[in-house]
Structure 1
Amino acid sequence: MIRADAPSSRGTPLFVLSFGARDALAHAAARGGWRTVAARRREQVERRYLASGAAIAVVDLRGAIVEGLEALRRLAPLAAAHGGVLLALTDAGDQARLSDVVDAGATLFLSDPFDDDALAQALRLAQRLVERLAGGREPVRTTLIAAEAQGWRWKPGARAVRLSPALGERLGLTGEEVPLGTLLRRMGRPGRRAARETVRRLLVTGRHGAFAHDGETGDRIVHHLDLDESVGEVAGWIEDLDVDAVPSRPPARDPLTGLANAAAAEAWAAARLAEGSGCVLLMLSVSRFDMINAAFGREAGDALLQGVARRIVRLAGRAARERLVARLAGADYLIGLAAPASAEEAEFLAARLTEAIAQPFVAQDHLVTLSARIGIAAAGADERDAPALLRRAASALAEARAGDTAVAIRDGASAAAAERDRRLEVDLRRALDADEITILFQPQVEVTRGRIVGAEALARWHHPRLGMLGAAELFAAASRSDYLLELSAHVQRRAVEEAARWPKRLDGCRIAINVAAEDMAQPGFADRFAAMVDAGGLDRGRVTLEITETGLIEDLGRAATLLAALRAQGFRVALDDFGTGYSSLAYLKALPLDYLKIDKRLSDDIVGSARDRVVVRSVIDMARSLGLTVIAEGVETEPQLALLAAEGCTLYQGYLCAPPLGSAAFARLVARAGTERA
């Protein structure tokens, strides 16, 4: 079950699209405090996602893989442009199609079977990713902000219902509380019956429910109901739907502006790419339009959207093949330029568009000033993937929204790198589930006698398409997807388990295990690490924790306390990569350490100029004066080793002895070289 105190979720909007489990998912999310808008059809999915105000959309592909992939493709550009996250739920049998899920735009995925706890964890991960994409700013909301939310709350048995200010304004009702009958009469007779039945079922089952009725102006209104158990109230959130049901062949026009809609825009781009002629897309978003809409009302907001559309058309043109102007959803527009248009031409047009939109608009009796951000993506003649091109334009728009410039361009190379990173993040989570991350060991050797006294455990992953990936790329991908703690714990546990199985002749060898700054920031890390080593059957006295310099400097006092606790439990501690960060001797003296590992660049400097050798000598002398054993990393040549020995370096690791090895190869090497307890 999702905890009621799940961080960052209380009252936060969440959009759910599920073709077979809508109410169950909505109920689980609501129990965790999310304000859920749930749908079971993909029609109008872009509009409903934007109108929900949610940054996170859950798309349930279980039993509906084709429909779910289509929904992901339609939501992906909007999520990318607004800093949103798409969480895909998949069947266990869909593992072979995860590549399609990623290509369709999913940011995260969760595979069946899973329980409410696993869903809660995935939602928390998605929320952290939203916050990270916001870069420390308030996460982007779409067209609905808190002040504009339309909802009501009712205590069972009470004669009155509390309305949100926005709903009261819409209904022309004053005061926070109004008689329950007044609200029910606004729903009409069929709406009242549906409301009573849905509320009755909600009170019996506690599960999310929804009902719909016609509004007074002919619109269609959906009420999403949840039971707020913390106060014993029924909470209703209102969503507006277009009146016309979406037919099997969707319309090509946006009803508000008359421009092409999102589906027609993607079809236009696909046609240009299929011809092999290429095209350039400009994705334009009116900045902070949600605030304008809240301040002046929906009618004024609609008038402004129409005015923006007219200015775009005036500058970009309506030619059917050469130019496309479309409204995607909300305050987002797409302009397509067919070949032979270039990125430079698009950039010139973007500058004119931002200038034009910055000119004041008249909406009803208001004079309103707007601004716009634009993302540009150009497709070459060999590009064929229209959804990928739209995602690239959306990524460029997100970059423009986050930066100081009004226009950002994503070329093919940067887009390919971003796509590679995105796929790698998804593949990494699958690799962890499948236990595909392996551990190699690089020997640590006595400088003077050549005896192997230990090894550093290093993570490796043989990616099916990208080949062997090292720890740096693995942890970078994990950090981007907020999966670093899981990867770090996995690598630490596997390293301990393998070292515990080493043959008897390796009993004298130590094992060095890397610990991330994020690990150390977790409460109770020292005790959990010790318990993990004990459970793995490894003697604590053989384990060294390697901690990078930059992970310690933010809170020196806390770091010193944690390292002292680890040493008190029998571990040794090494400061890794010394010389790459701040290299502060003052804080180094304050930390309880056993080893100082000097970075490869300092090892390289030892064979450089006399000035370089002075720097390396001073580091080694300083460490020895503090009672630390010095380990040199990245030693590759005999001259390096000889000079390090002359300066008093104790241990080294690097390709001069051996590359990282599997356990069996490491054991054979130790048998040849001889061992000695460190």
Structure 2
Amino acid sequence: MLRDSPPHTVAPVSKIAGDIVDVILAPGAESLAALVDLAGGRAGTDWADVLLVDARGGASLLADAEAAAVHARQAVLAIVADHAGAAAAYDAGATHVAVGEPTSESLALALRYAGRYARRLRGNGRMRRAGELAEGAVARFIAAGDPVEPATVAVVAITHFDTVNAAFGREVGDQLLREAAGRLTAVLPPYAVIERDQGAQFIIAVREDVEAARRRIAAIEGALARCFMLGREEAWLGARIGVAHRDDGEAAGSLVARAREALTAAAAGDAPQVRVAPQGHIAAGLDLAADLHRAIDRREIDILFQPQVALATDRITGVEALARWEHPKHGVLGAGTLFAAAERAGLGLALSEHIQLLALTRAAAWEGALANLRVAVNVTAADLARWDFAPHFMALVERAGIDPARVTAEVTESGLVTDLPLASTRLEALRARGLRVAIDDFGTGYSSLAYLKALPLDYLKIDRSLTQDITGAPRARVVVRGILAIAEGLGLQTIAEGVENVAERDLLADEGCTYYQGFLCAGPLDERALARLMEDDRP
């Protein structure tokens, strides 16, 4: 790919047609070299992988205009500097756009059409598409159409990807994602948008009616359910899909948010694998955001506790605290819906603090059989991003009056995607005070192994999507066995989620898992039910 092209030849910008998505603005960049440094640092590329277009209307790394026209689509990055000194770095791979003279106006036009006419995703392995940038492309696509035109957004999460990554390496994992992207593209219409989202996820948008979109989602399921060949090895993956059909006049951001909520719901249960957000949910979402202010102030959000059982002794040793809100209109709402509403209302930190303090205070007051139970409380991405995260969290522990040795901070993978060294420092500060740290939902994100390498952890929680059907599917057993082996090598204890029968429990015990959590023991319980269960659990 352009390996022998010198970094100084120039071709007219007007002759270049490239595949462009994913924008970064870099005001004040003084030279093309500075822009290359910016782009290279972001995408892990070098000069030989970068197509440059400067404010004078030239493209470097290309021998002539004809080469520019041919090779622009193959470039990993194109950088455009406008006359005002701003710059836009684009990942190549999804959108066919003809770029004219690089004025601010042409840049804006290019971005508009990038969102509207995205056609394919080649899925270069170096792309690390942030969720907000993917959402931006989808938003532009939706906004380009009629406000009342039917539209559907689907967030597709590929399951078991981390296991393939661990077994075969990052390069093979990237190859697999490229093939998955190709399969998705093949079942989509030419006017659809497909964007690489965070982790092993894609965001898809189509302007079709509900029935056509349902057929499209079924085709996506089928495409990803087929066997992937990794050399001579077979890999069976699959997907969980969150779907949202547009309400009349609904904004693109709301549509994407509802699709993400639906994906969260799909991932929270064993079935169905596809979850559709109900029509009219936008109004309900606004109601929830408003009601949430009052609910936090009035302490209406409650906590349930799901037991965690030691496989060696079959005794309950800890619990996970789970938020529940009995809304007078919408019924019982779980943590996924609560935090989605909190984000819309700008109350994410307030809700998280309320739940953490309530859970810790309740656990601190337990007596008798409950007195020594460990309690795991969830830590969100927003929590970790606080500059004072560790001292603030410890202040909650002290305010609750609970022994730090009983507390586990349970962090989901998605909460650690921004700055691993900083997250490591903040979590280590908790461990230094006697708390323990767990990584939740292991196996559902893109960088799980990086987290295991970088972060100070005590527990690894295996996501229910990986433990389901381990008694009936040999491949599922291999996946879980591999994760348990990694955890053992790192000195981590393991907690398997979603265990529902004795056969699954016994198999996990035989494979060396430390704890399990699931309906075999109990679902989420209030304190009275938990106390009764603990009385029954006594020897």
What TM-score comes out, normalization by structure 2 length?
0.50
The TM-score, its normalising length taken from structure 1, stands at: 0.40
* Greater Rg by CA: 1
* Higher RCO (C-alpha under 8 Å, 6+ residues apart): 2
